[in-house]
Amino acid sequence: MKIGFQLKQVRERLAKGLVDKGVLRTEKRNFILFDMATHPVADVRTKEAVIIRVTSLLTSTTSAVPPSALDKEGTQARAMRAVCLAAAAYAASVLDNAFSRLTYEEREAAFQRCEDLIQEFAAWPFGSASSSPNGNSVRANGRRAAQRIGIGSVGSGREAILGLVQEVKKEMFSDEDLCFELVAGVLEVLSKLDSLL
């Protein structure tokens, strides 16, 4: 009972903070006998912009990061913010709604790419999850890619993740930037969130 009360307080505090920042607005709704405060999105365009950013990031198959996936020019750590946005959306289980415009195959590929993205950025230093000490994963991925070429399919999107890793490494001031190491720790917790709850 205490946990439920604490979670309710967290939800109310988060909603109040988002209302104060202008992301949400407060409305009174009548649900049969009760008047309840609801918090719909204040500006639908902002929500659409976030959906476009996440979708373009997770459906890209080239090594170049699409500009539509990044925040405004001049924003610090644009690529890392895009990764965190996709990881947070995946952990919050809201990507189903964001991918409603995609076909089934595109949706499954985007979910797989998001899982690969989280796996890649949840390990410090970034990019170390794809390189194994004995090189077996690289050989297996190469074999899978060769099989896919024979059937004429599109690339797996691995190039997009490696391109994103390179962009994030460019944003780091040094290889031992502690802010990015902290982000890796948070992403590791987000990747294990389902098993924790």
b or e along 38-68 (b: 16 or more beta carbons within 10 Å of the residue's beta carbon)?
Answer: ebeeeeeeeeeeebebbbbbbbbeebebbee
* pTM for this model (two decimals): 0.73
Distance CA 27, CA 39 (A): 6
**What's the pLDDT score for residue 6?**
60
**Cβ contact 60:157 at 8 Å:** yes
Distance CA 70, CA 77 (A): 10
Instruction: Find the DSSP H helices in the chain.
Output: 2-20, 44-59, 78-91, 95-98, 104-121, 136-150, 158-171, 178-191, 193-196
**What's the pLDDT score for residue 152?**
43
**What's the pLDDT score for residue 3?**
56
The model's pLDDT over 152-177, given as tens digits with 9 standing for 90+, comes to 444 556 788 888 888 888 888 776 67
The model's pLDDT over 122-143, given as tens digits with 9 standing for 90+, comes to 888 887 776 654 444 444 444 4
The model's pLDDT over 97-106, given as tens digits with 9 standing for 90+, comes to 889 899 999 9
